Amino acid sequence: MSKILVISTSLRAKSNSDILAGRLIEGAREAGHEVEQISLKGKDIRFCIGCLACQRTQKCVQKDDAADIVAKVKDADTLVFVTPIYYYEMSGQMKTLLDRLNPLYAAEYRFRNVYMLSVAADDDAHTPDRALSGLQGWIDCFEKAALAGSLFCGGISDPGEVSANTESLSAAYQFGRSLT
């Protein structure tokens, strides 16, 4: 049993990302995992200012909601980032959070497996490639971690539209069951 942290990065009400994250979580819990979800909705997460003080202290000098998320990421066995694809890239708030996870670089973090679930209006199989590349760049800075898998659900645009897409809902559930 793994301690899984699911980070939902969409800020949209009734987001397809959140609906799919819910199915993923159901599958992961049914597989016996302990799952916690964090949504970036309503969170105050400022941009990294590049001071690198966190490399010495494992704490950011900024006082916002990122510190609590950093602590939860540090203690999770498995991470799942859930993002809408905007302009063929991860959401800006996801990238901002990845930058703010910099205090973990010199820390004793637990996570080993990192996953990404993404959703977009475009349904081309290569739509999430840049987002995956960006996440891989972050993972590459953590030598004990690896990108363990991803799921892309394309052709979904309007808020809540995925609720009627049984194929995507089932895929998200099965993806959750497969997490390690």
pLDDT score of 47: 98
The type of residue at 83 is: T
Whether the full predicted model's pTM is greater than 0.95, yes or no, is yes
Domain layout of the chain by residue ranges: 3-178
pLDDT score of 21: 98
* 111/75 Cα distance (integer angstroms): 7
Helices (H), 12-142: 16-30, 54-57, 66-75, 92-100, 129-139
**For the chain (length 180 residues), average pLDDT per consecutive 10?**
96 96 98 98 97 93 97 98 97 98 94 98 98 98 97 97 98 98
pLDDT score of 1: 86
The type of residue at 154 is: G
* Sheet of 78-84, strands arranged across: 34-39, 3-8, 78-84, 113-119, 146-153
pLDDT score of 121: 97
For 155, half-sphere exposure in the C-beta direction (CA atoms, 13 angstrom radius) is 7
pLDDT score of 34: 98
Instruction: For domain 3-178, give the fold.
Output: Rossmann fold (3.40.50)
Task: Label residue 63 exposed, middle or buried (CB < 10 Å: 0-12, 13-18, 19+).
Answer: exposed
Q: How many whole angstroms from its chain centre is CA 114?
A: 8
Cα–Cα distance list, 100 to 43, 63, 117 (Å): 13, 11, 20
pLDDT score of 6: 98
* 27/30 Cα distance (integer angstroms): 5
* 97/46 Cα distance (integer angstroms): 8
